[in-house]
Amino acid sequence: MSRQARGAPPRRAALVPVIFFALGCGGGGPTAEQLRAKAADPAGAAADRERAALALADKGAEGKEALKTLLKSATEPGVKAAAVSGLAALDAWDSVPLLLDAMDDPAEAVRARAGAAVAKFVGKDFGFKASAPPDERRAVLAVVRAEYAKMAKSPPPRYQKSPSP
């Protein structure tokens, strides 16, 4: 009689799919909507919410839209900062207006990541310091907004949409 038949615990190989499924790794993992919901769940642990927000960057266009929604609606600085990082990782030029708003967020971590992301998109360091007093930050932000307004009319080539065939 085999060991399995005598009531022994199942083999490790049989547990691997169960573990992957429990972690959301099986079947393609969680959807963008599931990750957005997890990141937005106020009952969830902060670290889990931030990880869910960061994981949205792996979901392409759906993840980008979920990150934009999350950046607009989240209240926790860590989740908002993760959303900013995700948008930057996705190279989401169309999110720059949201990132400009995030540069004036109450949380320094959000402002810092947003400032770095905008500098990446615009291709210029404006000397934005997230820790600077509000008046200084807003003066630099006004210059950044003006520069973006010029660029938005004719985005850098890598952000221009190619014509449909």
Over the stretch 91-122, which tens digit does the pLDDT of each residue have? 999 999 999 999 999 999 999 999 999 999 99
Residues across the chain: 165
Fold for 29-154, please state it: Leucine-rich Repeat Variant (1.25.10)
What span, in angstroms and rounded, lies between the C-alpha atoms of 89 and 102?
Answer: 16
Domain layout of the chain by residue ranges: 29-154
Is residue 63 within 8 A of residue 86, CB to CB? The reply is yes
pTM of the model: 0.77
pLDDT at residue 159 in the model: 75
Residue 32 and residue 62 in contact, taking contact as beta carbons nearer than 8 Å: yes
Strands (E), 5-154: none
Residue-wise pLDDT tens digits, 55-73: 999 999 999 999 999 999 9
Q: 65 is written with which tokens?
A: 């839209």
